[in-house]
Amino acid sequence: MSVQVTVTVGSIVLALILGSVLLAMVGVNPMEAYPSVGALMFFDQWGWQDLFLKMTPLLLTGLGVAIAAQLNLWNIGAEGQLYLGAIATTWLALEFSESLDAHFMLPILLIGTFVAGGMWAAIPAGLRSWFGVNEIITTLLLNYVAISLADYLLYGAWRDPSTLNFPMTRSFGESSYLPMIGSTTVHWGLPLGILLAVLTWILLRSTTIGFQIRVAGDNLSAADYSGFNTKNLLFIVLVLSGAVAALAGMTEVAGIHHRLQQNFSINYGYTGIIVSRLARNHPIGVIGTAFLLAVIFVGGELLQVEYQLPIAVVYLFEGLLLFTVIGSELFLSYRLRRRVAL
C-alpha cells in the first residue's frame, strides 16, 4: 500500500517535471509559472473554491468508474451517465421546484437522479450479465445517446424562449438549488461525494455483498465456485456505478448552473476514468486523485488566463500524468512478478 502511494506521488512529481519542460518549450518559465499558479489556486478565494467545484463532478464520476472496476468492468459511460443525471435532475426541477420547497425537493433530486442513472446503466449491465455483451462498447455508445438526448430536449421541448434561442432551459426554482457550504460558493455536492466514497469503502470491506464483490473481482471463477451469483453481482455493480456517476450531473446543474445547457460538462465523465485509474480504483483514493485532476483543470485555466496558453496544454498535462502513473504501475507489477517467480 505505502509502496503504491510512494510510486504514485513519485510519478506525479515526474509529470510536473516533464510538464515544466513543456512549459519552457512554449516560452513560459516554469519556475515562475508553477509558484504563481499555485498561489492563485490555493490562496486566492476564487481559486480554491473553483478547485472544489471542479473536484466534485470528478469525484463522483471517478467513484462511479471505480465501483465498476471492482469487478474488472470498464464503465466508459460516466459522461453519458452524467448527462442523463443532469436530464433527470432538470426534469424533476422544472416539474416540481415551483410547488415544493427545498426540504422535499433536494431528496427528490438526489434519489430521482440516482435511480435514473441506475436505470440507464441497467441497459449495459443487463446486456453484460445475461448476454455477455462487452460493457466497454455499450457504455461508450450510450454516451452519444445521452448527449444527443440532452441536445434534443434543449433544442426542442425544454428550450427557454426567453434566452434568445440559446440551447438552454429556463432557470430552476430556488428550491432546487444545492445549498452552499457556509459563505463559500462551494455547494454540498462535494461532501456528498466524499460520503459516498466512504460508504463504498465500508460496503466493500465490511459487508458480505462487498466481500462477494472483492472475491469476484479478484478471481471470478473462484466466486462461481463459492456459489456467489456472479451474474447478479455484475449487474448490481454496474448499475451502482452508473447511479453514482449520474449524481455528477445533478451536482453540476443543481449546484452551479441551475439550468441545463449545452456542453456543461468539460469531459468530467471521461476524466473520471483517469481519476479512478490513478487511484488504482480505490474508492478512498479517488478523493485524492479527483482533487489532483481538479488542480490540473484549474491550473490549466489559470495558465490560459495568465499566460495565454491554449487549452491543448491542459490536455497535454493530463496525458503526461496518465502516462507517468500508468507507466509506474507497469514498474510495480514487474517487481511483483519477480517475487512470484520464486
Partner 1 sequence: MNPVLELQKIHKEFPGIVANDQIDLTLNRGEIHTILGENGAGKSTLMNIISGLYIPDSGSMFLEGKPLHLKNPAQAIAKGVGMVHQHFMLIPNHSVSENIILGTPQAFRLQKSKVRQQIEELGRRYGLEFNPDLRVQDLSVGEQQKVEILKVLFRGAKILILDEPTAVLTPQESEALYKILRQMKKDGQSILFISHKMREVIELSDRITVLRHGKVKATRNRGETSPSELARLMMGESTIQTGEVQTKTSKASSDQSQNKTIVRLKNAGLRHELGHWLLQNINLEVRAGQIVGLAGVAGSGQAPLAEVLVGLRGLDTGEYQFAGEEQKGASVSELIHKGVGYIPEDRKRYGIAPHLEVAENFLLRDLHNNRFQSRGWLQRDKVTAFGRDRMRAFDVRAASERTPIGQLSGGNMQKVILARETSRPLKFLLAAQPVRGLDIHATAFLQNQLLQARADGLAILLISEDLEELLLMSDYLYVISRGSIVGEMPKEEAEIEKIGLLMTGERA
Q: What distance in Å separates the CA atoms of residue 187 and residue 37, rounded to the nearest whole number?
A: 24
Binder of partner 1 out of 221, 263, 308, 333 (CB under 8 A): 221
10-38 b/e (C-beta count within 10 Å ≥ 16 → b): ebbebbeebbbebbeeeebebeebbeebe
CB-nearer residue toward partner 1: 27 or 227: 227
Question: Is residue 218 a contact residue for partner 1 (CB under 8 A)?
Answer: yes
Of 98 and 218, which CB lies nearer to partner 1 in the complex structure? 218
Q: Please identify which residue in 207, 232, 315, 331 interacts with partner 1, judged by CB under 8 A.
A: 207
270 near partner 1 (CB under 8 A): no
Q: Which of 181, 209, 256, 332 binds partner 1 (CB under 8 A)?
A: 209
Residue 72 binds to partner 1 (criterion: CB under 8 A) = no
Does residue 1 bind partner 1 (CB under 8 A)?
no
Give the span between the Cα atoms of 297 and 77, in whole angstroms.
Answer: 21
Q: Which of 252, 307, 283 is nearest to 93 (CA)?
A: 252
Is residue 342 within the footprint of partner 1 (CB under 8 A)? yes
- Of positions 225, 305, 310, 331, contacts partner 1 by CB under 8 A: 225
> Whose Cβ is closer to partner 1: residue 174's or residue 218's?
218
Place of cell 436530464: 87
Question: Can residue 123 be called a binding residue for partner 1 (CB under 8 A)?
Answer: no
Query: Considering beta carbons, is residue 184 or 226 the nearer one to partner 1?
Result: 226
Q: How far apart are CA 214 and CA 221, in angstroms?
A: 12
Q: Is 183 in the site for partner 1 (CB under 8 A)?
A: no
Residue 227 touches partner 1, criterion: CB under 8 A: yes
Pairwise CA distance, residues 342 & 26, whole Å: 49
Binds partner 1 (CB under 8 A): choice among 29, 226, 232, 262: 226
Q: Cβ of residue 3: shortest distance to partner 1, in angstroms?
A: 14
How many residues contact partner 1, by CB under 8 A?
Answer: 26
Which residues are paired to 261 by β-bridges? 168
Q: Is 224 in the site for partner 1 (CB under 8 A)?
A: yes
Q: How far is the CB of 212 from partner 1 (least distance, A)?
A: 7
Site membership for partner 1, residue 212 (CB under 8 A): yes
CB of 127 to partner 1, least distance (A): 20
Nearest-CA neighbor of 65 among 242, 233, 290? 242
CB of 43 to partner 1, least distance (A): 42
CA 203 to chain CA centroid, nearest Å = 19
Residue 96 one-letter amino acid: F
x/- site string to partner 1, residues 45 to 64, per CB under 8 A? --------------------
Task: Tell which residue, 334, 180, 187, has the closest CA to residue 248.
Answer: 187
Buried b (16+ CB within 10 A) or exposed e, 200-212: bbebbeeeeebeb
Choose the stretch contacting partner 1; rule: CB under 8 A; options: 117-125, 212-220, 235-243, 244-252: 212-220
Inter-residue contact 248 to 63 (CB < 8 Å): no
Among 6, 29, 99, 219, binds partner 1 (CB under 8 A): 219
How open is the CA angle 119-196-43, to the nearest 5 degrees? Answer: 125
Give the span between the Cα atoms of 312 and 315, in whole angstroms: 5
- What gap in Å lies between CA 239 and CA 231, rounded to an integer? 12
How far the first Cα of the chain sits from its last, in Å, is 21
Choosing from 48, 188, 201, 211, the residue that interacts with partner 1 (CB under 8 A) is 211
337 binds partner 1 (CB under 8 A): no
CA distance linking residue 327 with residue 333, whole number of Å:
10
Q: Which residues bind partner 1 (CB under 8 A)?
A: 205-212, 214-215, 218-219, 221-229, 338-342
